[in-house]
Structure 1
Amino acid sequence: MKSTLSIILLGASLMVSAQQKTPVYLDVTKPIEQRVENALSLMTTEEKVAMCHAQSKFSSKGVARLGIPDVWSSDGSHGVSDEKLWDEWSSAQWANDSCTAFPALTALAATFNPEMASLFGKSIGEEARHREKTMLLGPGVNIYRSPLNGRNFEYMGEDPYLASRMVVPYIQGVQSCGVAACVKHFALNNQEICRGEINVNLSDRALQEIYLPAFKAAVQEGKVWSIMGAYNKFRGEHCCHNDLLLNKILKQDWKFDGVVVSDWGGVHNTDEAVNNGLDIEMGTYTNGLTTQGHFPFSSYYLADPFLKGIKSGKYEMAKLDDKARRILRMIFRTTMSANRPFGRFVSPEHSEAARKIAQEAIVLLKNEHNMLPIPVGKYKKIAVIGENASRSLVVGGGSTSLKVAYEVTPLQGIISKYGKEHVVYSMGYASGPSLYGREEASKLNADSLLNAAVELAKTADLVIFVGGLNKNYFQDCESGDRKSLSLPFGEDKLIASIEQVNKNVVVVFSSGNAITMPWLDKTPAVVQTWHLGSEAGNALVDVLSGDVNPSGKLPFSFPKKLTDIGAHAFDKLCYPGDSVNVQYKEDILVGYRWLETKKIEPLFPFGYGLSYTTFVYSKPSVDVNEVKADGTVKVSFTLTNTGKVDGAETAQLYVSKSKSVVARAAKELKAFKKTFLKAGESKTVNIEVPVSSFAYYNESKQAWEVESGSYSLLLGRSSRDIKGKVDVKVL
């Protein structure tokens, strides 16, 4: 029977070829929707179902009979992952799959520069295109709710507006290369503790105002071609097959026409997977990374059980056709597009892009007595202390672990800039090996390492401490949250000990999360460098030496203590939950919204970042004092670089409404603009803000609403450093 059926299908295919020289689905001059419908009409039910589930760890089937290629995906919001074995997480050990590591997405957000997001997206898109990927599994835009979340380094900070503005050009850059960006994790994946089963409960306002805007911008402005579901549940249903999130909000309200792919191991039920909006099922019977069993792909929820249900009439053919249609559409937009450009891999241009993004991302947090910059030749003996100075920070972290062509460490960068004869190194502390899903302490003696570092610091003219978090479990790593807000591995004690014997100390730390700094008062200079990728060391010394003036701003708040943050101001049900449910009791007051509204002083506020120069803001003005709800307000001011070096400043515009029918945050970011100025230069800066962005989500009407009345527009250097205010009235 099978052979007879094959002959019939082959005959049908030949008849199509005889009737038209090129089948419509292969004719790249035809509109995509016409090609999709033609291909769909030629496919068997079995072929359609086969497209809806994995055939290997990182691929799903096309239709070989019709010349439609498989879908190949790759991990990596900030680098294209190495090739894996067919059905294992282990590396395939190819010789030609070492990538460029770009900065992590917290670093990208810290640039406050959409042009950097575009450059980032295009560069990583070219690498994915060269590797023949259909889909790049990123970027991530989950909101930074708690500074303990192990995956915060993969995301774009605590503010939905900032994340929205940065994700759109990233997507456009990736997809200009003929590769589908896959925005993740939709939605509410804000912790790693119990991530596979925790049920998130929150208000509709918090959902719409805080946790969905970046995804909405990705769909409606970025026109993203794929979205990945989250592991967690939302209101009782897993997010990878959640009717409200996927069917109603994503596909119905936002008109998303792309593919919903599950997170690996995120599917739990055939009925829900069929009916609740999932299109491609990946990694079932794994926990996302570590579990591998010889579980046949044909047993996936959207494989044989789906096919059997279609044939028995349990499931509508329309459900299958919709999934196949979306997958075909993505294929025709990517691998079967006539306009798909060539890619390139680990090119000089990509190294330059990675370095430039990293330069703009670095945040100068403190600089007393002009400790920085450090001119070449100023110090005869520079002691570099700290494991992160020499440790790889592109390996580990879970799915973002990369096999890189090269990595310039901070120590290498410092030696290159200041000379081997002037730089000495001591490890100071040791963290142990990078292991996924478990923690293992270093076998080196902590006291011996500390004592050796302190002895070295005594004889140095300058100490550059390079520490922070790394990609180990319980640090910046998937599958586990941090245990504390403090620095790990005894670093606080080490820094304090160094400062007892040397007053010239610069603390540099890499992390995707906030930390506490009990040593801050005695430290003249502090630099936040994130995880900067292949060009980390070069970008760091560019800033330390003054070749580049730092311009990064914090994309999330640094609290003085954990309970200062809304997610940690309540009981354990608020975070991390009771292993079954978690309740977002802080509601819309996430990050600086909580700190500002509750009048809690942070260690460093959202949007904060120093420069080697100084900027002066004039009093802001607006083009209209009264405006309708569908109008736009233009805020103008003069920005002057009053210092002696060129630099860049990100002006931030916050909106506040004191008298409102609903509870509001004290202020909310609604616009920002980064301006580059030469020393002594002034520029008029114009920032336009649509009044529609003043809206709140009206839960009773299930709709956005702009409240009439007076609003204050606050112009600042950060959420707490407001330089000017102007009021407008919404009619």
Structure 2
Amino acid sequence: MNLAKLLTTILFTIVLGGCTAENVRQSALLQYDKQIDGIIGQMTLDEKINMLHAKHMFVSAGVERLGIADMIYADGPFGIREEMQPDGWMPLGWETDKATFFPTGSALAATWSPELAYAYGTGMAREARLRGKDMILGPAINIQRIPTGGRTYEYLSEDPFLSSRLSVGYTKGVQDNGAAACLKHYALNNQENNRGTVNVIVGERAMREIYLPPFQAAVEEADAYGVMAAYNKVNGWWCAENDILLNKILRDEWGFAGLVISDWNGTHSTVDAITNGLNIEMPTKRFLGDALLDSVKAGLVSEEIINQRVREILRVRLAIKPIPADEANKEVTSQPAQQQIAYDVASKSIVLLKNEGVLPLDLSKKQVFAVIGANAEQTLGLGGMGAGVKTLYEVTPLEGLRNKIGDRAEIVYAKGYEPVVFSFADMFRKKTPEEIEKEARETEAVAEKLTKEAVEVASKADLVLFVGGNDRAVETEGSDRKDMQLPSGQDDLIQAIAAVNPNIVTVLVSGAPNDLNVVQPLSKALLISWFNGTEGGNALADVLVGNISPSGRLPFTLPIKLEDSPAYALGNYPQGKKGADIFADLVSETEKVEKSEDNAPDEKLNDDPNTAIYSEESLVGYRWFDTKNIPVMYPFGYGLTYTNFEYSDLKTDKDRYGKNDVITVSFELKNTGSAAADEVVQAYIHRINPSVEWPYKELKAFSRVPLNPGESKTVSLEIPVKNLQYWDETLQRWNDDFCNIELLVGSSAGDIKLKKEVTLK
């Protein structure tokens, strides 16, 4: 589609169709409306306005006079943030606020388990309530559009179906356990560079089919109570004042009845924001405080709109029982039950990409294992910009190996490389050429020393466990990575190690894709262990020594090179120069970090850094690589185990299906190896003779199936035909594309085992 047609398409000013009063879901929050009528009737205008903005950094006001408690928010999506000063970022230094660090989003997605997502939400809610929190600012469920995204580790997947199933599980887990979930960041926050200024230009079909489904599923199926508006614009409107997104789609179509909160400093107006669907401005009251009160008095905003926004807040407030301050923070946040959940997720998230027979580790004779790499001993609960977790404890890979191996092998550690360290001050200060040159010399000297030590240790070992990857300083909120390269010279280091000891097992501790062109051929085994939380080291060690078989699957595609991925291949990303970050500016105002004018955005760039055109449309992730027939390093859904599985006898309950039918796919799955393991079976749809354009195939069902050695099981997967619809931009509704389809069942997007053709009629 050319740019002119795309821009025409996305200006969706037509009244949205396909949504009538009869088919809008009824939220459980509506049960409080009669009670709310009485509350609003007693409130003054000042009290109403006071509920529509921040009271403190993570608190918005209730109405003490009427017994309405303040709303207290918990940051962020993978662990409850430590207690801070009410209106700043300085920690209070408590002991009771040490929380469980849960595996981050991409790790959760690698489990391909809605059940574990539910348990994850349960654990988060339990710890939030121990701390007196009402709403968790999570899950973070934006689509991983670019491999270099700064929050890829925090988001779930490149695929909307996988993301949707996990989003529903997480949200239900939170809200079934007494806290409210706040879905973020709505919508199309798919890059960190210039996120506070960028205008996303996206076709409506791609928006509906790729970027909105996780939000829609969590609202319609899990009745999410909260949504956080993203920083960016979508098709010319800030997300925090986007009538299409907040009112017409979220509320009118999906039946959302809860509150919409701005991202921190993500509000841009008074009249448009309150009218177009924003409930609460955080963490200030610049627009929805006195300015809003004046707008009501001037007749620019009706009190009816104010009442509606207050009603939406009160619905959530009445659904979530407040925790009295004297009952909160009475015990340490992190508890054994939650630590077990963290372990369960971590142990089932680890992805085995390659194994030439060296795993599980042979502990039958006492060998010398050289553990090399700073990530072997680096903790990841904190680091970088954005939400972190002050953990009660965090088991590193080195500690986990020592725990699980004991005296059955000798472990010798070498740091190998100096990890990247995040400096908030450096974001606002431009270094002099002399400083840069001095740092470069010092870095080179340190690298030479650490490499020499690592090579010496490796040369005396039976096997090298190289633990590399990224960290929370490399993958961080507020900025995207410039490339996928392993940081800190890790490629050079592993080549030096391989020259003296080719027996290498590589573990990548990363939340996002890395370039594997150097490490993959040099490794006898290769795993991704993610930013895997409090119990990550124990989980990794259990996989390495064979206590459990690896069962994680890639939630994204690992390309051969970055330039193969769609946004890069089409020149859609990056757009111009990165400017200052909106959240960094907020924190710097609080912490008094001195800024440098040299780091201000360049207004004279030829490329507009504030426009992101999604011309790849629906071809995101594996959809692009499959449709364009571009080879990849490892495909979406890929992962090995310590056994083998055999697929056979694919059947469907019918050969022809109508629009209201459900396709039931069944087949036999057998564990033909000697280890117990889980297989993640995946069903994709390929349309043979469609009437509209489609990606080559799309994920539409999956299941995690545990099997003992020699065990067989009949696996059934269901695909509702209504889930195969497309968004018709002309009719402004979901529409059917009846055609012949091929059902593709396999272990990844790149390994299809069974096929069968059926007809949609």
Give the TM-score normalised by structure 2: 0.88
**8 Å CA contact 2:371, 2:466 repeated in 1:** yes
* Equivalent residue, structure 2, for 1:174: 174
Q: Aligned equivalents of 1:248 and 1:84: distance in 2?
A: 37
Which of 322, 337, 346 is equivalent to 1:358? 346
- The equivalences for 1:62-461 within 5 A come to 62-284=62-284, 297=285, 300-336=286-322, 345-368=333-356, 370-419=357-406, 422-436=410-424, 438=426, 445-461=446-462
Q: CA offsets per residue over residues 123-155 of structure 1, 9 Å max, x none?
A: 111000111111100001100100010001111
> CA, structure 1 residues 384+151, in 2 after alignment: closer, same or farther (shift >3 Å)?
same
Q: CA offsets per residue over residues 537-567 of structure 1, 9 Å max, x none?
A: 1001010011011110000000001111111
Instruction: Name the aligned partner's letter for residue 298 of structure 2.
Output: S
* Equivalent residue, structure 2, for 1:616: 646
Instruction: Name the aligned partner's letter for residue 377 of structure 2.
Output: S
Q: Aligned equivalents of 2:491 and 2:323: distance in 1?
A: 54
The more displaced of 31-40 and 44-53 is 31-40
Kindly state the Cα deviation for residue 580 of structure 1 after the two structures are TM-superposed. 2.0
- SS of the aligned residue for 1:255 comes to coil
- SS of the aligned residue for 1:315 comes to coil
Q: Aligned equivalents of 1:684 and 1:116: distance in 2?
A: 22
Q: Aligned equivalents of 1:390 and 1:434: distance in 2?
A: 17
Kindly state the Cα deviation for residue 34 of structure 1 after the two structures are TM-superposed. 2.2
- SS of the aligned residue for 1:222 comes to coil
Which of 695, 699, 705 is equivalent to 2:725? 695
Instruction: Name the aligned partner's letter for residue 673 of structure 2.
Output: G
Kindly state the Cα deviation for residue 336 of structure 1 after the two structures are TM-superposed. 5.0
- SS of the aligned residue for 1:153 comes to coil
Q: Aligned equivalents of 1:80 and 1:574: distance in 2?
A: 33
Kindly state the Cα deviation for residue 437 of structure 1 after the two structures are TM-superposed. 7.0
Q: Aligned equivalents of 2:573 and 2:139: distance in 1?
A: 29
Q: Aligned equivalents of 1:161 and 1:611: distance in 2?
A: 24
* Equivalent residue, structure 2, for 1:637: 667
Residue identity (%)? 42
Kindly state the Cα deviation for residue 570 of structure 1 after the two structures are TM-superposed. 1.4
Q: Aligned equivalents of 2:89 and 2:309: distance in 1?
A: 27
Q: Aligned equivalents of 1:525 and 1:573: distance in 2?
A: 33
> CA, structure 1 residues 437+688, in 2 after alignment: closer, same or farther (shift >3 Å)?
farther
Q: Aligned equivalents of 2:154 and 2:368: distance in 1?
A: 36
Which of 664, 667, 678 is equivalent to 2:697? 667
**8 Å CA contact 2:132, 2:328 repeated in 1:** no
* Equivalent residue, structure 1, for 2:13: none
- The equivalences for 1:428-577 within 5 A come to 428-436=416-424, 438=426, 445-472=446-473, 475-517=474-516, 518-572=518-572
- SS of the aligned residue for 2:153 comes to helix
Unpaired segments ≥5 residues, structure 2? 1-29, 432-438, 577-606
**8 Å CA contact 2:727, 2:735 repeated in 1:** yes
Instruction: Name the aligned partner's letter for residue 457 of structure 2.
Output: L
- SS of the aligned residue for 1:603 comes to strand
Cα RMSD, aligned residues only: 1.8
Q: CA offsets per residue over residues 315-355 of structure 1, 9 Å max, x none?
A: 111111111101111111112599xx999831111111110
Q: Aligned equivalents of 1:648 and 1:170: distance in 2?
A: 21
> CA, structure 1 residues 180+583, in 2 after alignment: closer, same or farther (shift >3 Å)?
same
- SS of the aligned residue for 2:756 comes to strand
* Equivalent residue, structure 1, for 2:586: none
- SS of the aligned residue for 2:704 comes to strand
Q: Aligned equivalents of 1:102 and 1:437: distance in 2?
A: 28
**8 Å CA contact 1:633, 1:688 repeated in 2:** yes
**8 Å CA contact 1:396, 1:436 repeated in 2:** no
Q: CA offsets per residue over residues 613-642 of structure 1, 9 Å max, x none?
A: 110000311001001011111000000000
Question: Number of aligned pairs?
Answer: 683
**8 Å CA contact 2:258, 2:315 repeated in 1:** yes
Instruction: Name the aligned partner's letter for residue 371 of structure 2.
Output: V
Q: Aligned equivalents of 1:363 and 1:587: distance in 2?
A: 29
Q: Aligned equivalents of 2:403 and 2:322: distance in 1?
A: 46
* Equivalent residue, structure 2, for 1:22: none
**8 Å CA contact 1:177, 1:342 repeated in 2:** no
The more displaced of 601-610 and 514-523 is 514-523
> CA, structure 1 residues 438+625, in 2 after alignment: closer, same or farther (shift >3 Å)?
farther
- SS of the aligned residue for 1:643 comes to coil
Which of 672, 684, 689 is equivalent to 1:654? 684
- SS of the aligned residue for 2:703 comes to strand
Q: Aligned equivalents of 1:651 and 1:437: distance in 2?
A: 47
Instruction: Name the aligned partner's letter for residue 358 of structure 2.
Output: M
- SS of the aligned residue for 1:482 comes to coil
Q: Aligned equivalents of 2:138 and 2:645: distance in 1?
A: 36
Name which structure has the greater RCO, CA cutoff 8 Å, separation 6+: 2
Give the TM-score normalised by structure 1: 0.91
* Equivalent residue, structure 1, for 2:742: 712
- SS of the aligned residue for 1:638 comes to strand
Kindly state the Cα deviation for residue 358 of structure 1 after the two structures are TM-superposed. 0.3
Q: Aligned equivalents of 2:449 and 2:514: distance in 1?
A: 25
- SS of the aligned residue for 1:717 comes to strand
> CA, structure 1 residues 367+72, in 2 after alignment: closer, same or farther (shift >3 Å)?
same
**8 Å CA contact 1:135, 1:182 repeated in 2:** yes
